Structure 1
Amino acid sequence: MNEAVQQLTHVLPLPASCGQSKDWNEVSRAVGTELPADYKQFIETFGGGYVDQHLWVLEPGCANEHYDLITGIKHGDEALEGLWELVEKPRELASGGRLIVWATTDNGEIGYWLARPGQSPEQWTVMVNDESGTVWEHFDMGFARFLLSALDRDIVSEVLSYAFPKDPHGFEPSGDFV
């Protein structure tokens, strides 16, 4: 298991109905790319859910379409197309690449993977965008390391709410919100 995912099992409470096996080949077909192993391990360990009453980690196949990864990516791609007509792309996209949604918040912030040309999903880093679509942060780390570092306050996002993270940490499965 990925070290950061393993550490997250000690930081976040594991819900009674945690994790689900997924057909990752089918998910990859629907998304149009493989996904990072740490994300897949997180979903199989925790499932998608609400972290510290702020950050929704999206899950493929979630019964609630608002927290479904595939639906989120589709809506995210459409929203970005419109956004690029209004604002300049972040400099991290200057050499191409794709932003792939993996999280949302109740405030409208969005967590993305930055998938650059020629990179494997294990090399993707994290970008966070504010609700206006104009402020971007780049974190040179993958999904699980980002989540762990944010919860441990090893990194601080200027975009995510000041109320994130909470103490003690919480995790509520998306399935509880169907």
Structure 2
Amino acid sequence: MVSSVLDRLKSVLPPPEVSLDPVDWAAVEQALGLRLPSYYKEFMDTYGGGTIEDFLIIYRFADNIEGTLEIWRSEMRRVRYFWDEVPEWATLEEGRENILPWANTIDDDVCYLLMEPREDPEQWCVVSRDEDMEWSVFEGSMVEFLVEVVSGRRREPWMPRDFPGDSPWFKTTAQYLADTDPG
């Protein structure tokens, strides 16, 4: 099932034409202290971390585990600061958090995996929030969310009117950095 959803994503968002380093997913999951959904791993094995139209930045946890853990901790600190604006379904207690950030926008909006039930990552859905802590829920996987967003069938309040464009594109983090490096 994952492959068919990923195939739909590939039809609306061509993957990069670069080879990606293989990932030791067992080591990544051990470092994070949780199992990751197969759809996340398959997406990363196909696209890698990067950006959709230089707006939505998708994290590849495998590239920098310590950096990933720091992003997670930092985001949880920020969300805890606004605890009174966080939906009741979000668990923010340190060590028991049930939201895992997997993407952010250049405007500081964040997409998370809602890790419920924690023991079954294939059931995790997507939640997102804008910079003002307005939350929304998408009852589907990260890849299904991307298919809906990139195809234009789903709009989040935090999306600019011109996102996505008529011909959506993806760049790996390395491609993005090469394009933006002034030297």
The 5 Å alignment of 1:44-123 reads 44-62=45-63, 68=64, 71-88=67-84, 89-93=86-90, 98-123=98-123
1:154 matched residue in structure 2: 153
The DSSP-based 3-state class of the residue aligned with 1:153 is: coil
- In 2, Cα distance between equivalents of 1:162 and 1:46: 25
Q: 100-109 or 155-164, which moves further after superposition?
A: 155-164
Q: 1:18 to 1:56 in 2, by over 3 A?
A: farther
Q: Indicate the percent of aligned positions where both proteins have the same amino acid.
A: 25
Contact 1:97 1:117 in 2 (8 A): no
**Alpha-carbon shift at residue 105 of structure 1 (Å):** 1.1
2:21 matched residue in structure 1: 20
Q: Which amino acid aligns with 2:87?
A: P
The DSSP-based 3-state class of the residue aligned with 2:111 is: strand
Q: Which amino acid aligns with 1:104?
A: N
Moved over 4 A (4+): none
- In 2, Cα distance between equivalents of 1:53 and 1:174: 10
2:181 matched residue in structure 1: none
Q: Is 2:37 aligned against 1:36?
A: yes
Q: 1:119 to 1:159 in 2, by over 3 A?
A: farther
Deviations 1:141-174 (A, max 9, x none): 1110000011112221112333321111111111
- TM-score, with length taken from structure 2: 0.83
- In 1, Cα distance between equivalents of 2:105 and 2:170: 14
- In 1, Cα distance between equivalents of 2:18 and 2:134: 36
- TM-score, with length taken from structure 1: 0.85
Q: Which amino acid aligns with 2:107?
A: N
Larger Rg: 2
Q: Which amino acid aligns with 1:155?
A: R
1:65 matched residue in structure 2: none
1:131 matched residue in structure 2: 131
Aligned residues: 172
- In 1, Cα distance between equivalents of 2:25 and 2:146: 21
Query: Please, which runs of 5 or more residues in structure 2 have no aligned partner?
Result: 179-183
- In 1, Cα distance between equivalents of 2:65 and 2:47: 15
